[in-house]
Amino acid sequence: MAILSATKLLFFFSFLFAWDVIIFSSTTAAAYSIGVNYGTVADNLPPPSQVANFLKTKTNIDRVKIFDTNPDILKAFANTGISVTVTVGNGDIPSLAKLPAAQSWIAKNILPHHPETIIRYIAVGNEIQATSDKALIAHLLPAMKALRSALDVANASSIKVTTPHSLGILSTSEPPSTGKFRKGYDKLIYAPILEFHKQTKSPFMVNPYPYFGFAPQTLNYALFKPNGGVFDAATGINYTNMFDAQLDAVYSAMKKLGYEDVEIVVGETGWPSAGDPGQPGVSLENALAFNGNLVKHVNSGKGTPLMPNRTFETYIFALFNENLKESVSERNFGLFKPDLTPVYDVGVLRNEQGMGPATAPPTATAPSGSASGSGKGKWCVAKSEASDAALQANIDYVCSTVVNCRPIQSGGACFNPNNVRSHASYAMNVYYQANGRHDFNCDFNHTGLITSTDPSHEACNYSSDQGEALKLEKSVAACSNVWQMIYYSASCMILIHISLLH
């Protein structure tokens, strides 16, 4: 029996080792995932079957949100593993407030596709409060409840019911700690909706758009670029991006009603890549900056200052440029063109390099004998004409992320020369290397310069391997936590086994 027990223990440890290898491999190879809004206000889009196959085979996009219940789209996503959020038309809401009508709607639009197509949410209307239609607002929650009951009766309880809200539901949002719902609507409309979400374990869906909230002086704040931040005196928090501030304003409003534990899902957010001539803030570079930084941010698990350590389910607007929308900017929110080529890549394409912005930061010419400007032989440094104030803002931004800034602190290998320009160049380069060496990662509000000349000096190493080392450090840290859990589990199993032998 002792020999048999030892054999079992050996098998057990072999299993643990193999499992640890699998976990480590999946941790280091993890890719960004994101949802998209699949709008169809266009006359040149590919058929849904082609779209579904493209998303499944060429991208890491694992969920889509549509603005109707198009049966061709729902059929196309069957057995793809990509979940779909469907939408009830605003005009259908009053009729669905009664259970029989809700059951008929579920039978017609959901059951023919469930469960082959993973229907994640039913979005009841879109930004109903923004319509100011009293009949729609009054029937919204009854329709949500009726659809919930109809799903339960049909044994489709895995599908959640929600409704998307614009940030117009807030009467105050700046600073975030003052966030509160519109007076008169807070307890009459939003508290009952939040109670529904709490009881049904469904999310409160909001559509935060920094694009619609920025001013010229807050553009970098809206784009997740280096900036001085916005200080909230009530909490002592300095917000460095508008997206976090908008979500925390919603959270503050929910907390004031006692529903801070309800999950938040971002139903829409995005930035147009083209607009009318002279339209402020609209460019390919800004769209890439916002959506690219957004994808990294929501996948980081960092959360927001008031909701730390959370990963928010997020749907970018939109999948395609839609040529029948009214304005130029509305027609250019897409990540992809109708021919499925990317307008730009925010990190969701599989096994492909990022497309980068239309205009990249300038590249300094390497002198004779220096490293080549391709591949890893690139570094990011501060422009000579950049002001100390701008460079200090870059340092503050970079060092507030996961980047290790100890080398430019007193006693560090890169502390000398002790000036803002030198310290900023080191910090900007580490950020550039750690985030994939994309040109846009060296923009820093036009204060960064890509060079093919290694700026390392004495003991200060600007090696292009810094980024890889930082990624590996984060992966190893994550893996070590998993290994500790496995180690303690194994120890407990051994102790139990020994006690049984005795």
* Rounded Cα–Cα distance for residues 447 and 493 (Å): 57
Q: Residue 424 sits in a domain of what CATH number? A: 1.20.58
Q: Does residue 352 belong to any structural domain of this protein?
A: no
Residues 329 and 267 in one domain: yes
The range of the structural domain enclosing residue 322 comes to: 34-336
The residues, ordered by sequence, that sit 6+ positions from 46 with a Cβ below 8 Å of its Cβ are 54, 338, 339, 340
Decide which of 336, 368, 398 is a domain's last residue: 336
Decide which of 284, 312, 336 is a domain's last residue: 336
Q: Which of 116, 127, 260, 330 is catalytic?
A: 127
* Rounded Cα–Cα distance for residues 187 and 209 (Å): 25
Three-state DSSP state, 142: helix
Residue from 274, 261, 128 nearest 204 by CA? 261
Residues 66 and 149 in one domain: yes
Active site residue 326: no
* Rounded Cα–Cα distance for residues 180 and 164 (Å): 17
* Rounded Cα–Cα distance for residues 193 and 200 (Å): 11
The residues, ordered by sequence, that sit 6+ positions from 224 with a Cβ below 8 Å of its Cβ are 240, 241, 243, 289, 290, 293, 294, 297
Decide which of 336, 366, 392 is a domain's last residue: 336
Residues 197 and 282 in one domain: yes
Domain count, the chain: 2
Query: What phi, psi does 367 have (nearest 5°)?
Result: -70, 165
Q: Does residue 422 belong to any structural domain of this protein?
A: yes
Q: How far is CA 439 from CA 96, 141, 227, 375, 450, in A?
A: 50, 47, 19, 12, 8
Residues 310 and 447 in one domain: no
Q: Residue 147 sits in a domain of what CATH number? A: 3.20.20.80
Indicate the pairing of strand 230-232 with strand 61-65: unpaired
Residues 82 and 130 in one domain: yes
The residues, ordered by sequence, that sit 6+ positions from 481 with a Cβ below 8 Å of its Cβ are none
Residues 314 and 191 in one domain: yes
| One pLDDT digit (tens) per residue for the chain, 502 residues | 444 444 444 444 444 444 443 433 333 334 567 999 999 999 999 999 999 999 999 999 999 999 999 999 999 999 999 999 999 999 999 999 999 999 999 999 999 999 999 999 999 999 999 999 999 999 999 999 999 999 999 999 999 999 999 999 999 999 999 999 999 999 999 999 999 999 999 999 999 999 999 999 999 999 999 999 999 999 999 999 999 999 999 999 999 999 999 999 999 999 999 998 889 999 999 999 999 999 999 998 899 999 999 999 999 999 999 999 999 999 999 999 999 999 998 989 986 544 444 334 444 433 333 333 334 678 888 887 888 888 898 888 888 776 778 889 888 888 888 888 889 989 988 888 887 787 778 888 888 888 877 888 777 888 755 544 444 444 444 444 444 444 444 444 444 444 444 4
Active site residue 285: no
* Rounded Cα–Cα distance for residues 192 and 93 (Å): 17
Q: Which of 268, 285, 313, 322 is catalytic?
A: 268
Residues 204 and 113 in one domain: yes
Q: Does residue 342 belong to any structural domain of this protein?
A: no
Q: Does residue 438 belong to any structural domain of this protein?
A: yes
Q: Does residue 485 belong to any structural domain of this protein?
A: yes
> For 265-387, where are the alpha helices, taking DSSP H only?
284-299
Residue located via tokens 């169809």:
40
